[in-house]
Chain A
């Protein structure tokens, strides 16, 4: 299985600022995804990060708020823009091949004051 790292592991930010989260995989993967997990809740898919093209966003998520980059097959970033306390969540990236198992990074715990 792929080994996935995320940076930062946690952060505390002021409202109105932006945070960029990095996801690094130790091997080339086709599919990379970003999820949000609000406190005490399940995971919600934000977007699919596409290599070389714009990310595909799920309903309720927009590029202006969550810009995503994927410059190659091992790396992606998610930016949480103009943050508010409602953005306090764990953000997780995952990778997968085809329709099978997805492997998750350790998550980034974000607190917005």
Chain B
């Protein structure tokens, strides 16, 4: 399967702590994206990092990409209870617009 793999599958932290989620993939990619899904609702796009970028920031989010290791990490700093959700990485291989999604990580932030 070409599906991405995230780890850990589930993460539980205290409010205020940082949360780090990892994603690995198996093919060459054009870009990698992270999405959040609250309680089985629609996906919210968080951040996109291109294959020629190594790090990107957006507010409390920091994404890194290591194409040599075929891996990416999403760091959420100073977590809040509202960050409780499922997080998915998804990547585009460049052949077309299709995205391949990872299995997802469930993040719980305890107040």
- Residues of A participating in the B interface, judged by any CB pair closer than 8 Å: 1, 4, 31, 33, 37, 41-45, 48, 90, 92, 94, 96, 98-107, 109
- Does B71 interact with chain A (Cβ within 8 Å)? no
Q: Using a Cβ–Cβ cut-off of 8 Å, how many residues does chain B contribute to the interface with A?
A: 25
Contact B92 A99 (CB under 8 A): yes
- Does B88 interact with chain A (Cβ within 8 Å)? yes
Contact B45 A101 (CB under 8 A): yes
Contacts of B44 in A (CB 8 A): 104
Closest to A39 in B: B40
Contact A103 B101 (CB under 8 A): no
B12-44: CB near A (< 8 Å → 1, else 0) gives 000000000000000000110101000011111
Bound-state Cα–Cα, A78 to B9, Å: 31
B52-95: CB near A (< 8 Å → 1, else 0) gives 00000000000000000000000000000000000010101010
The 9 listed contacts between A and B (C-beta, < 8 Å) are A42-B3, A42-B88, A96-B97, A99-B96, A100-B31, A100-B48, A102-B97, A104-B35, A109-B40
Contacts of B90 in A (CB 8 A): 43, 102
Contacts of A102 in B (CB 8 A): 33, 45, 90, 97, 99
- Does B103 interact with chain A (Cβ within 8 Å)? yes
Closest to B98 in A: A45
Contact A107 B40 (CB under 8 A): yes
Closest to A1 in B: B45
Contacts of A92 in B (CB 8 A): 42-43
Given A99-B92, A101-B33, A90–B98 Cβ distance below 8 Å? no
Bound-state Cα–Cα, A41 to B42, Å: 14
Contact B88 A98 (CB under 8 A): no
Contacts of A104 in B (CB 8 A): 35, 42-45
